[in-house]
Amino acid sequence: MAGRKLRGIKVPHKKNTADKGPKRMPVPPMVCVPMSMHIGAPAKPIVKAGDEVKVGQLIAEAGGFVSSPIHSGVSGKVKKVEDILLSSGQKAPAVFIETDGEQAISEDIAPPEVHDFKSFIEAVRQSGVVGLGGAGFPTSVKLNVADTSKIEAIVINGAECEPYITSDTRTMIDEAQSVADGIELLKKYLNAKNIIIGIEKNKPDCIKNFNKMFKGDESVRVAALPSVYPQGAEKVLIYNTTGKIVPEGKLPIDVGVIVINCTTLAAIEKYIRTGLPLYEKCITVDGSAVKNPENIIVPIGTAVKDVFEFCGGFSKEPKKVLYGGPMMGIAVPDLDQPVLKNTNALLAFSEGEAQLPKESPCIKCGRCIASCPLKLSPVDIETAYKLSCPEDLEALKLNLCMECGCCSYVCPANRHLVQTNKLGKAMLRSYQALKKAAKEEEK
Amino acid sequence: MSQMIVSVSPHFKDKTSTQSIMRDVLIALFPALVAAYLIFGWRSLLVTAVCVVSCVGSEWLYEKLMGKPNTISDLSAAVTGVLLAYNLPVGIPLWQAVIGSLVAIIVVKQLFGGLGQNFANPAITARIVMLLAFSGTMTTWVFPDAVSSATTLSILKGEGSGSLPALKDMFLGLRGGSLGETSALALLIGGAYLLIRRVISWHTPVAFVGTVFILTLLLGKQPEYQLMSGGLLLGAFFMATDYSSTPSTNSGRLIFGIGCGLITVLIRVWGNYPEGVSFSILLMNILTPYISKLTRPRPLGGAKI
Ligand code: SF4
Ligand code: SF4
């Protein structure tokens, strides 16, 4: 197995809510369910204003192969279907549902027929499950491998390396059986013979519990990983558990590995067992501006402000609100934004933490290079970007950057390295497109 | 509801800043100042103060005149001032110290674009310029009482007359030399502090000092004296570790340190000058961009192009 682990950085854990089992929040008066909560084509709404919907009812079909269906998390009446602007900057239609508070379960709910690989993948697709660790990639597409004999290892991601977030921890505690049964499903239908559950050492109970559950099972092993950020990043986790390197432009499956988040797996298992699709999420609500940090279960589409209100409101004026953790989370522009499928935390920060220190000149200290898990050289990337040298960006392998934020976090000059990398990637994309076009012209 | 701040991740920041790093360097330099005072008297404090004030003042003035943002609060100019002072004989005329400071800050640092942009170490370059311009006063050493009147390096070279001080005195710093370079004890305390605070990595000092030790051992040149003579420890811990003029990778730092050690020994043993630390660092500064490029880590999974 991997001898040397990839480097990363120590960040404060702040797992304040690890001991807090999820509370269920009462349904809000209105939910807004966007059609774009995953990577790929937006889902196509199949309901219209005035339609009655129930919990678990399909309200939108997958809009293509790389896409995912969407189900209602509430019972009530569709008010309107209208475009909204998401935090990602993307515009997408959203279904607004006025809730009736009954939470009547749809009559359509029934466990799916699953007997082989094909029907398993179909069930995953119908469950509406996407990468819940944050990526939001449709899980059915990820698991739909052409040849299951190519799978050498499946890694269950329970690292949860971002500060504050404990929703995966809660899954591993409260739904341990679901995760374990999900692993059995992977064994059965994906023919998996080597399953590794990767958990950071700051969650010793989870490690102990899974070790006990799979005692004597040769095919499942728990990897206790150092609590180093970004342990849970796909490429880092793969390297640190299997020793494999995912080459540039390739997917984990190309090296025989699949990574699946523990909460994602539990959601799939739940659907196959009960027929209840993904329509609600357990999220961590925390941050310096939140009165009562909690883990709570909310219907997808619940407005961010309703969630905070349930947690006792704000103790200080919030200046920055995040979907996800402080290292990779996305800043929410306004509190009317909804909870998405892949939202695992909502964090609110007051003035002090919201404002980052000002940029100053790079002092060439090399800390960014030393911190990058993928061994990139952020300081050189920044220079190449400023000089508008896409050739250099290409040679520096900017495309590998996973925007984990280690470099920016450690930079004493507060350089906006992740931001520069994002801009650099755009520069590199247009350069590579031009290069490709020129090559084609030659032919 | 007020407008939320929207910015690109990460939304967390490590507390280390340019200023906190420079503050740590100043703290690490402090024991050597105490030693300088005990060994050479109050004038060592005066020379240090003059260098710091001229460095900080000239940075402030230059930035003001050029309409550039004021950066004296990052403390890097103060560090340059202290380092320059430590490289001067305690008897240096004050006006010469001021000129050295101006060279360091204006010519070597600011004209190359300011902090982080200078390819050469400002204090070292200024010292070398002063050595050429004021060679008389720059080599007029003051000796603590009861210590022979030749520097250990010239004695080691067989040029100076007199006998070597006891090793214990060398360690404490009771020898002739620049005002901040003589006390091995004080410099080691400061160096250890920098290592503990992770301001510097061990690679450069270990490679630098180690190379000098091994080479002088092989050449039979009394390595134990070599290590504590001249500006080796000051250079290895405080100047060959300057960020902007040395490689930013650890393997690069090893190469840099070895190169410095090699050149230092070459000059000490065969060169015209008794001391080679400054020249070795400056020469390696010039090679830094190449070393950095050569030792840049290979991205994980990067395809060849
Ligand atoms: S960490 Fe920041 S200051 Fe240091 S080299 Fe990288 S970009 Fe420059
Ligand atoms: S360069 Fe990219 S991958 Fe490397 S530390 Fe920075 S954000 Fe992470």
How does pLDDT run across A205-233, given as a tens digit for each residue?
999 999 999 998 889 999 999 999 999 99
CA distance between the termini of chain B: 51
Report the CATH number at residue B165: 1.10.3430
How many folded domains does chain A comprise? 2
Domain of residue B41 covers 18-294
Q: Do B13 and A366 touch (CB under 8 A)?
A: no
Confirm whether B11 is domain-assigned: no
Asked if residue A270 is part of any domain, the answer here is yes
Rounded to whole angstroms, what are the CA distances from A236 to A233, A240, A264, A440, B248? 5, 6, 19, 36, 23
pLDDT over 90 percentage in chain A: 73
* CA of A415 relative to ligand 1 center, distance in Å: 7
- Specify if A229 maps to a domain: yes
The reply to whether residue B299 touches residue A419, judged by beta carbons under 8 angstroms, is no
Contact (Cβ atoms closer than 8 angstroms) between residue B146 and residue B165: no
What pLDDT is stored for residue B160 in this prediction?
A: 67
Give the residue-averaged pLDDT of B96-101: 97
pLDDT in tens, A113-159: 999 999 999 999 999 999 888 778 999 998 998 888 889 999 999 99
Domain, as residue range, for A416: 367-442
Residue B230 · residue B177 · CB < 8 Å: yes
pLDDT, mean of residues A395-401: 94
In a shared domain, residues A380 and A265: no
A32 domain residue, yes or no: no
Distance CA A216, CA A73 (A): 39
Q: How many domains does chain B have?
A: 1
- A182: CATH: 3.40.50.11540
Among A290, A261, A228, which residue's Cα sits nearest to residue A16?
A290
Of A235, A251, A274, the residue at which a domain comes to its end is A274
Whether B85 shows a pLDDT value over 60: the answer reads: yes
Q: What is the band of A4 on the pLDDT scale with cuts at 50, 70, 90?
A: low
The whole-number average pLDDT for the span B40-59 is 96
Highest mean pLDDT among A137-141, A429-433, B58-62, B295-299: B58-62
For B84-107, what is the mean pLDDT? 96
Q: What is the pLDDT of residues B111-150, one digit of tens each?
A: 999 999 999 999 999 999 999 999 888 888 877 665 556 6
Give a yes or no: residue B195 inside a domain. yes
Convert the pLDDT of each residue in B210-255 to its tens digit: 999 999 999 988 898 889 988 999 999 999 999 999 999 999 999 9
| A84 in a structural domain | no
Residue B1: pLDDT over 60: no
Please report whether residue B228 resides in a domain: yes
> Is A246 close to B301, i.e. CB distance below 8 A?
yes
| Interface contacts A/B by beta carbons within 8 Å | 159
> Does A241 share its domain with A130?
yes
Same domain, A371 and A270: no
> Would you state the pLDDT for residue B139?
84
Residues 6+ apart with CB under 8 A from B291: B247, B252, B255, B256, B284
Mean of the pLDDT values across residues A76-86? Answer: 92
- For residue B148, what pLDDT is reported? 55
Share of chain B above pLDDT 90, in %: 74
Q: Which amino acid is at A436?
A: K
pLDDT digits (tens, 9 = 90+) for A223-263: 999 999 999 999 999 999 999 999 988 899 999 999 999 99
Q: Which two tokens stand for residue B30?
A: 């402090």
* A250 shares its domain with A376: no
Domain end among A248, A274, A300: A274
| Angstrom distance (rounded) from CA B70 to CA B58 | 11
pLDDT of A30 strictly over 80: yes
Q: Which of B231, B151, B186, B179 has the alpha carbon at shortest distance from B43?
A: B179
Would residue A306 count as lying in a domain?
no
* pLDDT of amino acid A423: 95
Confirm whether A85 is domain-assigned: no
What pLDDT score was predicted for residue A2? 40
A385 with A242, same domain: the answer is: no
Under the banding of pLDDT at 50, 70 and 90, the label for residue B63 is very high
Q: How far is the CA of A361 from the centre of ligand 1 (A)?
A: 9
- Percent of chain A having pLDDT more than 70? 99
Same domain, A264 and A374: no
Closest-approach residue (CA) in chain A for B297: A375
**What is the reported pTM?**
0.91
Put simply, whether A373 touches B (Cβ < 8 Å) is yes
A158 in a domain, yes or no?
Answer: yes
The pLDDT, as a whole number, for residue B142 is 77
d(CA B25, CA B118): 18
Domain C-terminal end among A233, A250, A274: A274
Which whole number is the average pLDDT over A70-96?
A: 91
Average pLDDT (B179-204) is: 96
pLDDT at A286: 93
The answer to whether position B197 is within a domain reads yes
Neighbours of B51 (CB within 10 A): 29
Alpha-carbon separation of residue B297 from A284, A372, A394, A397 (angstroms) = 37, 10, 15, 11
**How close does chain B come to A66, measured CA to CA in Å?**
26
Domain match, A133 and A261 both: yes
Q: Is residue B4 part of a domain?
A: no
Residue with tokens 């090699």: B262
Q: Is residue B27 part of a domain?
A: yes
- What pLDDT, in 10s, does the model give residues A91-105? 999 999 999 988 889
In a domain, A283, yes or no: no
